Amino acid sequence: MTTTTIQSARLLFLQFVNRNATNNNTNVSLDRFVKMFNNVQNRYVEWVLEKRNEDAIRDIQLLLQKDVPLVFDKKDVRYTSYGLPDNYFNFANIYARVKADCCPADDISLFEVKSEDVEELWKDTNNEPSFPWRESFYHFSNNSVILYKKNFEIEKVFLTYYRYPQKVDISGYINENNIQSTDIHPEFDTKVVERIVLAMSKEFAAITDNTSAYQMDKDRLFTI
């Protein structure tokens, strides 16, 4: 995998910006560049996950965290909740290990539901939490995942998810915490960084040409 330094990414960004500008000496402050990069790379990951294009998904596989055990939050008669990781960005898969009085612990499948449908599903013999059928349902709420149970206990929950990409930084300015900045390079390969930087230049040009700054929609940003 070919990687790009944050300095190289900034130089490429300035090349794109000045190629499209009527004033060929356009400059962008370091802190603004860093904020733009971190914002656009998050939106790029979101766009990739929305499109689910196989080639693009492959480009962000370094963000995939597999079978991460979640931390117990609280227990109720009908459910157990677990907190989401601090770096959680987007869902991929989930399963639980449960135990019933009759049998040893085993893994069960889980399907997502809307919170307003829980009561109906709870009473539905075809969809209720079932140890014999090894399945139950869940939903997300307040940075937690809520898993429902009936005549069994949930012992562990394993989540596969996409984390946030690492935030970049560049040396040469005092950051918002009044600390000297340091170099933190992009973790994506060069191809992805170039796509992010090109999208940044598109948005910068759009904002510069329009007195009311706005964010371009993701399809316009990342479609070449």
- For the chain, the structural domain boundaries read 6-60+165-222, 64-163
- Listed range (5-9, 91-95, 101-105, 198-202) with the worst mean pLDDT: 101-105
Over residues 7-35, mean pLDDT: 84
Buried b (16+ CB within 10 A) or exposed e, 67-95: ebebeeeeeeeebbbbebeeebbbeeebb
Residue 211 has pLDDT above 60, yes or no: no
The pLDDT value recorded for residue 3 is 82
Give the pLDDT band of residue 210 (cuts 50, 70, 90): low
pLDDT, tens only, 24-77: 667 889 999 999 999 999 999 999 999 887 788 999 999 999 999 999 999 999
Does residue 202 register a pLDDT over 70? Answer: yes
Residue 72 CA, distance from chain mean position:
22
- Count of alpha carbons within 13 angstroms of residue 16, beta-carbon side: 19
The confidence score (pLDDT) of residue 214 equals: 63
Q: For residue 160, count CB atoms less than 10 angstroms from its CB and return exposed for 0-12, middle for 13-18, buried for 19 or more.
A: middle
Q: What are the pLDDT digits (tens) for 127-185?
A: 999 999 999 999 999 999 999 999 999 999 999 999 999 999 999 999 989 999 999 99
124 CB neighbour count, 10 Å cutoff: 10
Between 20 and 65, the more confident residue is 65
Beta-carbon count within 10 A of 178 CB:
6
- Indicate whether 205 pLDDT > 80: yes
Q: Is the pTM of this model over 0.75?
A: yes
What pLDDT, on a 0 to 100 scale, did the predictor assign at position 215? 72
